[in-house]
Amino acid sequence: MKRTFDIILAIISVIIFALPMLLIYLSIRLSGGGNVIYCQERIGYKGKTFTLYKFRSMKTNAEMDGHPMLYLDNDPRLTRIGRFLRAHHLDEFPQLWNILRGEMSFVGPRPERKFYIDQILQRRPDYVRLYELRPGIFSQATLYNGYTDTIDKMIKRLDMDLAYLEEHTLWLDVKIIGLTATAIITGKKF
């Protein structure tokens, strides 16, 4: 039922947001900021690696040395357009494609990079339980804990994601989507 809900909502979202996505695409393309779509490997459902898609919000050499870096407040790696996209979570529209491909869900734990998962697993081997769910664009943990910029915050997010794993229902997903959409529209910073 959750997968059917995701597919229907993703198709409706693509139709409704087609024009804004086109405008974002053109804005990035015309700004000369490199590839419009940013691809990054993440670990998802059943512990499998998948390619996560986002609109490019950072300069092309943001992780020039190949060392993963977490997002920072006032991150100097953001482009001018990227700062706006990130502030309003518009950079995540391409993840609708991840949902349609079955790699993600609308609601679930945020997918993480292997580099950070390895660090979390050293402290919390129960992280692997999250592989029972498809990762999500929206999550209860992001809604209440914000984006993570430290391993300690990732551990706190893990506890919230594990609680979601135990109690998730379609109604809870609808509630999380509604609360997140409201927070984005009203300008709440995550």
Q: What is the pLDDT of residues 103-113, one digit of tens each?
A: 999 999 999 99
HSE at residue 49, side-chain half, CA atoms within 13 A, is: 7
Q: Is residue 71 pLDDT above 60, yes or no?
A: no
pLDDT band at 75 (very low <50, low <70, confident <90, very high): confident
pLDDT band at 142 (very low <50, low <70, confident <90, very high): confident
Copy the structure tokens of residue 114: 């292997």
CA distances from 83 to 19, 23, 173, 184 (A): 20, 16, 28, 15
**pLDDT single digits (tens) 110-124:** 999 999 999 999 999
Can you tell me which residue has the tokens 């086109």? 22
pLDDT value of position 73 = 64
Percent of the chain past pLDDT 90, that is, above it, reads 67
pLDDT value of position 63 = 60
The 10 Å CB-count burial string (b at 16+, else e) for 104-140 is: bbbbbbbbbeeebbeebeeebeebeebeebbbbbbbb
Burial class of residue 83 (count of CB atoms within 10 Å of its CB; 0-12, 13-18, 19+): middle
**pLDDT single digits (tens) 9-60:** 999 999 999 999 999 999 999 987 678 999 999 999 999 999 999 999 887 6
CA distances from 168 to 116, 172, 176 (A): 25, 6, 10
Angle between helices 114-123 and 151-167 (to 10 degrees): 80
pLDDT value of position 65 = 61
Q: What is the mean pLDDT of residues 153-167?
A: 94
- The strand pair at 136-138 and 105-107 is best described as parallel
| The pTM of the whole model exceeds 0.85 | yes
The 10 Å CB-count burial string (b at 16+, else e) for 54-81 is: bbbbbeeebeeeeeeeeeeeebebbbeb
Residue of 2, 9, 95, 14 lying closest to 55 (CA atoms): 95
In 10 A of CB 52, how many CB atoms?
A: 23
Which residues sit opposite 78 in a β-bridge?
58
pLDDT band at 148 (very low <50, low <70, confident <90, very high): confident
